[in-house]
Chain A
Amino acid sequence: MTTLLEVQELSRDFGGVRAVNQVDFQVREGEILALIGPNGAGKSTVLNMVSGVIPPSAGEIRFASKPMTKVPGYEYAGLGITRTFQNLQTFDDMTVLENVMVGMHTKTSSSLFSCGMNLGKAKKEEKLMEQKAHAWLGQVGLATESQRLAGSLPYGKLRLMEIARAMVAGPRLLLLDEPAAGLNHTETAEMSRMFCEIRDSGTAILLVEHDMDMIMTIADRIVVLDQGTKIAEGTPREIQENPRVIAAYLGTEEE
């Protein structure tokens, strides 16, 4: 399988503290790669760098062979990298449908003038956005909530909405930051099934998550971070048996 995302010697300092230290890993086409580790291991920091939210202090990120560290954050979506957020970043005063329509921003190009005059192109794009957004709301099971204000939705549904918003433009790589946080067992299971469907339809996933059940069932490979450094990489089975991982992370759970 070809490499989609390549991370090399990625480091990030926060005021003298090294949060991420020379981390290497790859995400291949069509796989789910899980990034795990104890609290403060630097998982979210890695995800923020890979999504262009914060620049790395050192190291290189390549997406489909293109160096990404100099690319401005707003170009990531257009290149095919979208994400969800650990602490939800939803547009509360818009409807659920509108939230997802924002995800189509990079697939449309009507100018301000064209939108204000409601010219043919703007109308056509508006229809396309609506159609795609409805389709994805159906996929995540929010079809009946499309006209509700996002601010009035419960937590679990907002997580689903964020996934629809990230998927609607058909990205090549989806970054998920603790998507199962705050969800119950059934919701987590449903979400796991959805992620497998997304992977099978051709979008690779980089998943940061604490829910071990979810990771062990859906991840194709796992990268383990501890205190900013990569300590292991392998299949779920290999990771479960790795003594360093057990010591750093799983061990505390098995006591």
Chain B
Amino acid sequence: MKQLLQKWGKGFGIYVALMIVFPFVMPDEYYRSVGIIIGLHAIVTIGLCLVMGLAGQISLGQAAFWGIGAYTSAVLTTKYGLSPFVGLIASAIVPGLFAFILGRAIAGLQGYYLAMATLAFGYIVQIGITEWEPVTGGASGMISIPQVPFFGGSELSMYYLIWAVVTCVLLFSLNLLHSRVGRAFRAIHKSEIAATSMGIDVSKFKLNAFVVSGMFAGISGGLYAHYMGILDPQPFGLHESIKFLTMVVIGGMTSIWGALIGTVLIGFISEGLILLSEVIPGLQGDVDTIVFGGILVLIVMFMPEGLVPRIRSVYEKAQAKKAKEAAVKAQSGERVERKAAT
């Protein structure tokens, strides 16, 4: 733990502190549920960041893995009476398998073609869930999905359970980023030729990144199902996939912290819009889609690297300037001293 703190520094400490106190400082218990949903989204977006920001593979079907995870655990626990913990494990494995098969099938695709293929996959999954009525309950969905028996399953204990998972996913991804595998992902993103000539099996590592992101999304989906207690196919479509993408891009694709911060930001903006809509009657319906679309356009135009990398580079420049000024001062001071001595 000490080592971890040293490695990730103050940022990690601040994250843990904020995460723990959040449910208590917010005035309303309602915000616990907001925190839970943000946490669930963060698990997905951190995974998406690995595949998109690090390995450079666009995915427009992340909500589909989320949905497969949700329905896997929901069906296993509701129809077959398995424990939610077993369901949650399956909710990581089954989407992982789907990601593996899809990843193998589209291994040769790049850029637009990969985007199209994952988009199509997203549609197929959502339609599949809607039509497979005997198992998934079709468009009307499923009800009375059991809660996760974690400290009584209260809202607060769910909040901590989910943020514990977020923390695990975050640490796993940060470790990965600064490892042989993470560097292989980043190398592929910059130059596939150079990566290959360094001995990196490009298609294998792309597939790995894809499967991990699918598994993260699946775990989040499983937790979502047990938290909500009801499921229908509506949230697992393109709209949600684009929302995940927006979160990652705003925070900064190349940064794991960026994915988390982008997710939190979009979560709060969402809540802000809901509050606003109570004051301004015109602001109802799909306003959030318009706002997120607008934010995405602005970010891509003016800050393509995203928030976190931008802030980091501004901070580093300021530090460098400070150091330079200090050096100049020290030098001129020395000169004055020398003059005084002569």
Contact = CB atoms under 8 A, between A and B. Distances in A.
B175 A117 contact: yes
B26 interface: no
B179 A115 contact: yes
A51 interface: yes
A118 B175 contact: yes
A95 to B, nearest CB: 10
Interface string A46-83: 00000111000000000000000000111111100011
Contacts, number: 101
Contacts of B194: 85, 89-91
Given A91-B186, A93-B254, A102-B187, A115 B180 contact: yes
Contacts of B178: 126
B190 A77 contact: no
Interface of A: 51-53, 72-78, 82-83, 85, 89-94, 98, 101-106, 108, 110-112, 115-118, 122, 125-126, 129, 165, 169
B197 A82 contact: yes
Given A77-B199, A116-B175, A91 B191 contact: yes
B180 A122 contact: yes
Contacts of A75: 199
Contacts of B196: 52-53, 73-74
Interface string B262-285: 000000000000000000000000
Given A85-B194, A89-B193, A105 B180 contact: yes
Contact of B200 (A74, A115, A118, A125): A74
Interface string B173-209: 1011011111110110011011111111110000010
For chain B, what secondary structure do more than half of its interface residues adopt (helix, strand, loop), or is it mixed? Answer: helix
Contacts of A104: 180
Interface residues of B, number: 28
A78 B173 CA distance: 27
A116 B198 contact: no
B172 A106 contact: no
Contacts of A77: 197-199
A93 B197 contact: no
B212 interface: yes
Nearest to A104: B180
B186 A110 contact: no
A183 to B, nearest CB: 20
B201 A74 contact: yes
Given A76-B199, A89-B193, A103-B198, A112 B183 contact: no
Given A106-B198, A165-B198, 12 more contacts: A51-B197, A52-B197, A53-B197, A82-B198, A89-B193, A91-B186, A91-B190, A94-B186, A102-B200, A105-B180, A117-B175, A118-B179
14 contacts: A51-B197, A53-B193, A74-B200, A90-B190, A90-B194, A91-B186, A94-B183, A105-B199, A110-B181, A112-B208, A116-B173, A116-B181, A126-B180, A165-B198
